[in-house]
Amino acid sequence: MNQNQDQWKTRLGFMLAAMGSAVGLGNIWRFPYVTGELGGATFLIVYLAFVFLIGIPLLLNEFSIGKAGQKDAVGSFQNLAPNTKWHWTGFMGVIGGILILSFYSVVAGWSLFYLYKYLTGAYWSEPDGGYGMVFDEWISNPILPLLWQALFLGVTLFIVIRGVKGGIEKANAFLMPVLAVLMIFMAGYVLTLDGALEGVTFLFQPDWSQLSNPKLYLTALGQSFFSLSIGVSGMLTYASYLKAKDRLPGAAIGVGVMDTVFAVIAGIMIFPAVFSFGLEVNEGPPLVFITLPSIFASMPLGNVVGIIFFVLLTMAALSSAISLLELPVAFFKRTIGMSRKAATYLCTSIIFVLGIASSLGFGIWSGVTIGGQNILGMIDYLTANFVLPFGALLMALFVGWYLNREQAQKNSEIENPLMFNIWYISIKIIVPVVMIIIVIANIFGYTA
């Protein structure tokens, strides 16, 4: 065993970091708006089915590659499958992680800015022109959002540069418990408001006619991968810092359940509020930046709730951004052989420069669109719906078809033979079949 290798101090530290990676803008910003656009409860049911039948098995699969490979995204595949092309899966993940963080940090920058506006009291009451107008003005400004994005990335860099134990593990040990407490408080408060029931109904009463919409499945699949952080090897990288004695299956289930609970709580927190104020649920990406502030403004104690909400959103984004930065950093550090410091500065700079495009796509570059999506929308759509599923599919094929059954069982650390068989069939057969069907249905669904 390589003594110089980064490692977690405790298993709990790993669990919290993996949960930190999972719980993020995906739960609080992305989940509510895709759910709102695709009919609420029906989407939720398909989403939950995917999380438990495909997502959690794939999370364990990704953990197993990292832990057995003991290296970064590319190096782990090279260790397990020398002289093959499998490490391209990890390489694609590194690129995917960089792309995701480039737009993720734009939205996180908005969140940080809103937190500042709430701390100074500027957004406690509806500003002149309304929240919609100030948001549009803000995101279309060519300079200011970039500064907040840079600030957010600066904080992420500050943590990642301190290493696995001293930076990532410590930060998550603080962020995750605080996040959990704030979230429970918010959900509890919102549920006491008038009209809350309507929102809960939207989230829990299915509209079965949506089940024939192929887009629902692709979006639910992409959302479950995005939310669980699978397919880009960020979770693989985190698992590579585990010691031999740590056990994987419990960690995968714990992270999966926790992430889902956070998404559902975010939904419970947001939809009742949206309904009790008679606003639209299918607002898309601005949902939490336009709809919620107007709700906070007319809600008792709304200023406090607003501050708490944007603290929560920013912290959740940070713990995920840390994992998205550590993924390429680990690659540059171990496979390319750079120092952690140099790798962290390099990756953060690349990500910031790419992120400029996503940010400007709301202003001076708003003419750049494909199918009505701006630059951020396009990168988000492509990474969540194609890069992540494709990466996860390759990892499933790697363990299910390239490694042999004994290796798969040993690496997965599932001791119970029945449980192992269920998991193995899932990643070997069910995952590839389901994913191929969804992609084909969408190709025909769009052209027809």
**Chain residues that interact with Na ion, rule: CB under 5 A:** 22, 26-27, 227, 259
d(CA 3, CA 151): 34
Lookup: tokens for 414: 């599932």
Residue 133 beta carbon to ligand PHE: minimum distance, rounded to whole angstroms = 28
Q: Does 172 bind ligand PHE (CB under 6 A)?
A: no
Residue 84 beta carbon to Na ion: minimum distance, rounded to whole angstroms = 31
Q: What are the residues whose beta carbons fall under 8 Å from the beta carbon of 194, sequence distance 6 or more?
A: 276
Site string for ligand PHE, 273-312 (x = CB under 6 A): ----------------------------------------
Q: Does 159 bind ligand PHE (CB under 6 A)?
A: no
Residue 276 interacting partner from ligand PHE, Na ion, none (CB closer than 5 to 8 Å by kind):
none
| Residues 33/208, Cβ–Cβ less than 8 Å | no
Residue 324 interacting partner from ligand PHE, Na ion, none (CB closer than 5 to 8 Å by kind):
ligand PHE
Q: Does 26 bind ligand PHE (CB under 6 A)?
A: yes
| Residues 179/312, Cβ–Cβ less than 8 Å | yes
- Hey, which residues between 85 and 104 contact ligand PHE (CB under 6 A)? 100
d(CA 240, CA 305): 38
Residue 379 interacting partner from Na ion, ligand PHE, none (CB closer than 5 to 8 Å by kind):
none
Residue 370's DSSP bridge partners are: 373
| Residues 152/103, Cβ–Cβ less than 8 Å | no
Count other Cβ atoms within 10 Å, centred on residue 273.
26
**Shorter beta-carbon distance to Na ion: residue 175 or 360:** 175
d(CA 347, CA 33): 30
d(CA 205, CA 203): 6
**Shorter beta-carbon distance to ligand PHE: residue 21 or 409:** 21
Count other Cβ atoms within 10 Å, centred on residue 353.
10
Q: Does 226 bind ligand PHE (CB under 6 A)?
A: yes
User: Nearest 5°: phi and psi at 370?
Assistant: -130, 125
Q: Does 35 bind ligand PHE (CB under 6 A)?
A: no
**Shorter beta-carbon distance to Na ion: residue 216 or 324:** 324
Q: Does 232 bind ligand PHE (CB under 6 A)?
A: yes
Which residues of this protein are in contact with ligand PHE, per CB under 6 A? Answer: 21-22, 24-27, 100, 226-227, 229, 232, 234, 320, 323-324
